[in-house]
Chain A
Amino acid sequence: QQQVKQSPQSLIVQKGGISIINCAYENTAFDYFPWYQQFPGKGPALLIAIRPDVSEKKEGRFTISFNKSAKQFSLHIMDSQPGDSATYFCAASKADSWGKLQFGAGTQVVVTP
C-alpha cells in the first residue's frame, strides 16, 4: 500500500519555465513533508521541507504548497535551469518517528536548454 502518491512520473520543461510536482498522502498522522532531489549515482539530498502548520514555504526558486484538508502538497521549481534536471521525491513521516519516511515514487525532471 503506497502511502504517498506522486505525479507526474516524468516531466520535461524548458529553461526558465515552472516545474510542478504533486503528492498526495493518506495518513493524517503525517506531519513532516520533505522533498528530496537525487542525481544519478548519488543519494537523495534534502531540498526543502514543510510542516502542516503552514500552507507555503519558499526557499530560493523552490516552493512547497501544502493543502492539509486535501492531504496534498506540491513542489514548484521556478525559473527551471538545466542543472535542476534530476529525480525529485516527496516524502512524509510522523512526528514521533520522523526518520521513518514514506517516499513517493519519484518524478524525473528534464530541463531543456
Chain B
Amino acid sequence: GAGVSQSPSNKVTEKGKDVELRCDPISGHTALYWYRQSLGQGLEFLIYFQGNSAPDKSGLPSDRFSAERTGGSVSTLTIQRTQQEDSAVYLCASSTRTGGGTFGSGTRLTVV
C-alpha cells in the first residue's frame, strides 16, 4: 500500500500482559518514529529511528517500553507488563530524511 500500515488497529489486553504493536512504513522511507496520543498528554514522542543510526529512545516513558526496527523497514513497539496508564493510541510515522512525516492510523490500546 501507499501509506503507513499499523496493526492491530485495536488491542484490548489485561493489565500485566505484554503487547506488540507493528508498523509497516512507506517503502523507501529511512526514518520511522513512534508517538503516543492520549487525552491527557496529547501527542508524545516515544522513539525515532533514522537509517542505520542508533535510535533516539529519549521519549520512552519507562523500561517497560522498547522498540526495534528490522532490516530498516518494519518496526515493533513492545510494552511489557502493561499498566492502565499505557492505554492510548500508538501512532507510527515514516518519512524521508528531509522531513514531512506520514502517520499511520494508529493502534488503540486499552488495558483493562
Q: Are B42 and A106 in contact (CB under 8 A)?
A: yes
Say yes or no for A44: interface residue by CB 8 A criterion: yes
Q: Are A49 and B100 in contact (CB under 8 A)?
A: yes
Q: Which A residues lie at the B interface, using CB under 8 A?
A: 32, 34, 36, 41-46, 49, 89, 91, 97-106
Q: Are B105 and A43 in contact (CB under 8 A)?
A: yes
Residues of B within 8 A of A46 (CB): 100-102
Say yes or no for B65: interface residue by CB 8 A criterion: no
Q: Are B45 and A100 in contact (CB under 8 A)?
A: yes
The docked-state distance in angstroms from the alpha carbon of A63 to that of B41 is 27
The docked-state distance in angstroms from the alpha carbon of A42 to that of B50 is 24
Q: Are B33 and A45 in contact (CB under 8 A)?
A: no
Residues of A within 8 A of B99 (CB): 32, 34, 49, 98
Q: Is the interface of A mostly helix, strand, loop or mixed?
A: strand
**Within the complex, which residue of B43, B44, B59, B95 is in contact with A44, where a contact is CB–CB below 8 Å?**
B43
The docked-state distance in angstroms from the alpha carbon of A45 to that of B103 is 7
CB distance from A97 to the nearest CB of B (A): 6
CB distance from A34 to the nearest CB of B (A): 7
**Within the complex, which residue of A34, A49, A97, A103 is in contact with B48, where a contact is CB–CB below 8 Å?**
A97
Most buried by B among A49, A103, A105: A103
Say yes or no for B77: interface residue by CB 8 A criterion: no
